[in-house]
Amino acid sequence: MDLPERVTIVEVGPRDGLQNEQGIVPVELKVEFIEALAGAGLGAVEATSFVNPKWVPQLADAEEVLHRLKRKPGVRYPVLVPNERGLERALAAGADEVAIFASATEAFSQRNLNRSRDEAAAIFGPVVRRALDAGVRARGYLSMVLGDPWEGEVPTAEVVREGTRLLDLGCFELSLGDTIGAGTPGRVQDLIEAFGRAGIERERLAVHFHDTYGQGLANVLAALQSGVSVVDASAGGLGGCPFAHSATGNLATEDLVYMLDGLRVTTGVDIAAVARASTGLCAALGIQVPGRVARALQNRNGEVE
């Protein structure tokens, strides 16, 4: 197979994973989790979100998380920001990379951001410019790229238009999110090819899959064969989207690394260390770790080796 020699994994568990938990996770656990994931060899660990705490109370401690975090040299710690106020909070807390999040569909933009796609773009423009002026890179997330629970299948042309708009604002990378996990390998490849026809280099694209229909790893493989080499994943398969109830858990980092190791694709990630971090966090929260590989490693001898 024609695959990249190395894949960069953007770990989203501490943000995307924990934002969907019913209870509030203590800040000490969050910091321990982030530091363990960085120690496992993950080069990018999404630490938190500076969204209004009224909407995502699970991440209301964003400033404290960054202040307590012992950052490992060479590791990126991106944070989500929804607007200029969120950016100000993130910069004051010492964020070294931010991310903005838009929707490929009008319906989800209204439900997730309480504004239209055009209104969201008008807000994101100044956010990216101010971040760049401060020497901080901005990453773009685009949700619902392969299906929307309110609109159904999303036209590829709309996804390309909205994704290109984020890149044109100044985002260095665009993460294509299959938020409800409805995508299939063929549709993934078609979408990536459509971005190529629009003049977007594969190096500027990342993928973010949910495993709702069991297609997460197959979709990753299709993306890799299409030239993408950056994949978002969540330790233990934690997470979902609080504003789209059909968006179940993220693709598990351990499952992804297990597949890539088997394909002899380099990630630099210690799969056992990630599994220890995710199973330890889940044990502290009183829940079973969702990811298959983490469970398998845990069940083999009663603990992760």
Q: What is the pLDDT along the chain (305 residues), one digit of tens a residue?
A: 799 999 999 999 999 989 878 788 999 999 999 999 999 999 999 999 999 998 889 999 999 999 999 999 999 999 999 999 999 999 999 999 999 999 999 999 998 888 999 999 999 999 999 999 999 999 999 999 999 999 999 999 999 999 999 999 999 999 999 999 999 999 999 999 999 999 999 999 999 999 999 999 999 999 999 999 999 999 999 985 444 444 467 999 999 999 999 999 999 999 999 999 999 999 999 989 999 999 999 887 565 55
Q: Is 2 contained in some domain?
A: no
pLDDT value for 112 = 84
pLDDT value for 301 = 57
Per-residue pLDDT tens for 112-150?
Answer: 888 999 999 999 999 999 999 999 999 999 999 999 999
- Domain of 179, in residue numbers: 8-301
Active site residue 241: yes
pLDDT value for 242 = 47
Q: Which two tokens stand for residue 64?
A: 């404290």
Q: Which of 241, 247, 289, 304 is catalytic?
A: 241
Q: Is 228 contained in some domain?
A: yes
Q: Is 28 contained in some domain?
A: yes
Measured CA to CA, the distance from residue 238 to residue 16 in angstroms comes to 8
pLDDT value for 292 = 94
Single-letter code of the amino acid located at 256: L
Q: At what angle do helices 185-197 and 156-169 cross, to 10 degrees?
A: 50
115-151 b/e with 16+ CB inside 10 Å = b? Answer: eebeebbeebeebbebbbeeebbbbbbbbbbbbbbee
Q: Is 210 contained in some domain?
A: yes
CATH code of 234's domain: 3.20.20.70
Q: Is 1 contained in some domain?
A: no
Q: Which two tokens stand for residue 115?
A: 């504004």
Number of folded domains that form the chain: 1
Per-residue pLDDT tens for 192-215?
Answer: 999 999 999 999 999 999 999 999
- Segment (H or E) for 35: helix 27-39
